[in-house]
Amino acid sequence: MQVNVDRESRTPLYLQIKNQIRQLILSHSLQPGYRLPPERKLAAALGVNRSTVVNAYRELEADGLIESHVGRGTMVNFIPGGEAGEELYLTLPPVWRNFYSSRAGRMNNPFISNILDMVAREDTISFALGVPAQEFHPVEYFSSIISGLMNKEGSALFEHGPTAGHYPLREYLAGYMAKRAIQAGPENIIILSGSQQGLDLAAKVFIEPGDAVVIEEHTYMGAIQVFAAAGARIFSVPMDEEGLQVDVLEQVLARYRPKFIYTQPTYQNPSGIAMSLARRRELLRLAYRFHVPVLEDDPYSELHYEGGFLPSLKSLDTSDHVIYLSTFSKVISPGLRLGWLAAPSDLARQLLMAKQLDDLHCNTLAQSVVNEFCRAGLLQAHLAMVREEYRKRRDAMLASLEEFAPPGLCWSRPAGGFHIWCSLPEGVHAGALLSRAVEKKVTFVPGDVFCANAGGTDRLRLSFSRCSETIIREGIRRFCTVLSKMINTGHGLDEAARQRQDLGQLF
Enumerate residues 258-277 that contact a second copy by CB under 8 A: 259-260
For residue 270, whether the previous peptide bond is cis, meaning omega lies within 30 degrees of 0, is: yes
Compute the least distance from the CB of residue 457 to a second copy, in Å: 23
Footprint of a second copy on residues 292-311 (CB under 8 A)? 293
Binding residues with a second copy: total (CB under 8 A): 101
- Coil, strand, or helix at residue 260? coil
Q: Quote the CA–CA distance of 354 and 343 in Å, as a whole number.
A: 14
The yes or no reply on residue 15 touching a second copy (CB under 8 A) is no
Instruction: Report the residue number, 123 or 439, with the smaller CB distance to a second copy.
Output: 123
Judged by CB under 8 A, the stretch of 159-167, 172-180, 265-273, 495-503 that binds a second copy is 159-167
Which is closer to a second copy, CB of 39 or CB of 372?
Answer: 372
CA dihedral over 366, 371, 374, 378, signed as positive or negative: negative
CB of 339 to a second copy, least distance (A): 9
User: 191, 338 in Cβ contact below 8 A?
Assistant: yes
Q: How far is the CB of 227 from a second copy (least distance, A)?
A: 10
Is beta strand 445-446 parallel, antiparallel or unpaired with respect to 243-244?
unpaired
Q: State the minimum distance, in angstroms, from the CB of residue 234 to a second copy.
A: 14
Pairing of strands 339-342, 410-411: unpaired
The letter for the amino acid at 233 is: R
Applying CB under 8 A, among 48, 128, 194, 373 the residue interacting with a second copy is 194
Give the Cα separation of 303 and 61 in Å (integer).
68
Interface with a second copy (CB under 8 A), residue from 7, 72, 97, 179? 97
Which residue number, 135 or 495, has a Cβ lying nearer to a second copy?
Answer: 135
Q: Does residue 215 belong to the site contacting a second copy (CB under 8 A)?
A: no
Q: Own/partner pairs for 450-456, CB < 8 Å, 24+ apart?
A: 450/218, 450/219, 450/220, 450/221, 450/224, 450/269, 450/270, 451/217, 451/218, 451/224, 451/236, 452/215, 452/219, 452/224, 452/228, 452/234, 452/236, 453/234, 453/236, 456/218, 456/430
Q: Is 346 in the site for a second copy (CB under 8 A)?
A: yes
Supply the minimum distance, in Å, between the C-beta of residue 286 and a second copy.
10
* Rounded Cα–Cα distance for residues 437 and 296 (Å): 34
Nearer of residues 328 and 412 to a second copy, judged by Cβ: 328
**How many CA atoms within 13 Å lie on the side-chain side of 415?**
14
In angstroms, give the least distance from the CB of 503 to a second copy: 45
Residue 93 interacting with a second copy (CB under 8 A)? yes
Q: Going residue by residue from 350 to 379, which x/- string records binding to a second copy, judged by CB under 8 A?
A: x-xxxxxxxxxxxxxxx-------------
Q: Closest separation between CB of residue 99 and a second copy, Å?
A: 6
Where does residue 326 rank: exposed (0-12), middle (13-18), buried (19+ CB within 10 A)?
buried
Of residues 430 through 489, those in contact with a second copy by CB under 8 A are: none
Report how far residue 317's alpha carbon sits from residue 194's, in angstroms, rounded to the nearest whole number: 24
Nearer to a second copy, 41 or 349 (CB): 349
Q: Does residue 335 touch a second copy according to CB under 8 A?
A: yes
Stretch that binds a second copy, among 148-156, 263-271, 428-436, 476-484 (CB under 8 A): 148-156
DSSP one-letter string for 28-71 = TSS-TTPBPPPHHHHHHHHT--HHHHHHHHHHHHHTTSEEEETT
- Looking at residue 247, its amino acid is D
Using DSSP, state whether 503 is helix, strand or coil: helix
Whether residue 368 contacts residue 152, with contact meaning beta carbons closer than 8 Å, is answered with: no
Report CA-CA distances (Å) from 226 to 104, 201, 231, 396.
Answer: 11, 10, 9, 34
Query: Please, which of residues 312-331 interact with a second copy by CB under 8 A?
Result: 318-321
CA dist., res. 29 & res. 52, Å (int): 23
Residue number, 362 or 432, with CB nearest to a second copy: 362
Is the CB of 134 or the CB of 488 nearer to a second copy? 134
Nearer to a second copy, 295 or 422 (CB): 295
**Could you give the string, one character per residue 31-70, with x where binding to a second copy holds by CB under 8 A and - elsewhere?**
----------------------------------------
- The answer to whether residue 394 forms part of the interface with a second copy (CB under 8 A) is no
- What residues numbered 114-143 form the site for a second copy, per CB under 8 A? 116-117, 119-120, 129, 131, 134-135, 137, 139, 142-143
- Residues between 163 and 192 with contacts to a second copy, criterion CB under 8 A: 163-164
CA distance 381 to 302: 12
Smallest CA-to-CA distance from 182 within 325, 17, 54, 29 is with 325
Asked if 385 touches a second copy (CB under 8 A), the answer is no
Q: Does residue 96 touch a second copy according to CB under 8 A?
A: yes
Closest to a second copy by CB, 54 vs 146, is 146
Q: Cβ of residue 125: shortest distance to a second copy, in angstroms? A: 17
